[in-house]
A and B are shown apart, each in its own frame.
Chain A
């Protein structure tokens, strides 16, 4: 397999970019808290006005992970982002189980946690350049 050519990341940290990022994050969080978008399902459940905000914060986390998956300069970066995305989705499934009261959402969470762990191990083996049965 071809080796990744990364020199270990080249990102710089400037104050302007930091301010822009903080502003963007603040705007997004303000939208989530004060003008929460409607979800098209489960509208009339108890606690839904709280959990809708939770869902959108988790969507924000997933968007950050997806950014790293698309942008990541080396293959291991993408693998890490995929692993983290799996864990965030497990949390999402668990929160979904509370307002709806359906316990099988959390079964999806368990299955997803185990599957994502095995997937991460397989990706790690592949990146080491071994076969899966070594």
Chain B
């Protein structure tokens, strides 16, 4: 029973991973790519880890899988935020279909 549930979680995680990487290739500019990739790949990998925990139960592998979930949820949004900010500061423009850029306006005011 736990094994079947684990396999279901792993397959769901693989599905989301695949869509995240497809988003990395398809979407037009870096900010959109960052959105798709960060959300889907983080959630997919966390789901894979939870599946591993369900299949293995409470032993060394299971505990470490839970720890990896904790690390990923804490670190991956921070890395995404740092990369988005760095991209904006280093001068990458938004996609030409973008509607609004309040950040650029504010930076212009400060200088």
Contact = CB atoms under 8 A, between A and B. Distances in A.
Q: Do chains A and B touch in the complex (CB under 8 A)?
A: yes
Interface of A: 1, 3-4, 6-9, 11, 13, 21, 25, 50, 54, 57-58, 60-62, 64-65, 67-68, 74-77, 79-81, 83-84, 87-88, 90-91, 94-95, 97-98, 103, 106-107, 109-110, 113-114, 117, 120-121, 123-125, 127-129
Contacts of B7: 50
A106 B83 contact: no
Interface string B60-83: 110011011001100110111011
Contacts, number: 171
A83 B87 CA distance: 14
Interface string B21-50: 110111011100110011001101100110
B48 A91 contact: yes
Contacts of A50: 7
B17 A58 contact: yes
A106 B64 contact: yes
23 contacts: A1-B90, A3-B90, A7-B93, A8-B28, A61-B21, A68-B24, A76-B83, A76-B92, A79-B83, A80-B37, A87-B45, A88-B17, A91-B45, A103-B61, A107-B64, A109-B68, A113-B75, A120-B79, A125-B82, A127-B90, A128-B86, A128-B89, A129-B90
B96 interface: yes
Given A60-B18, A81-B24, A103 B82 contact: no
B22 A64 contact: yes
A80 B25 CA distance: 11
A43 B103 CA distance: 54
A125 B49 CA distance: 30
Contact of B96 (A7, A79, A110): A7
Contacts of A75: 90
B24 to A, nearest CB: 5
Contacts of A4: 90-92
Contact of B83 (A1, A114, A120): A120
Nearest to A75: B90
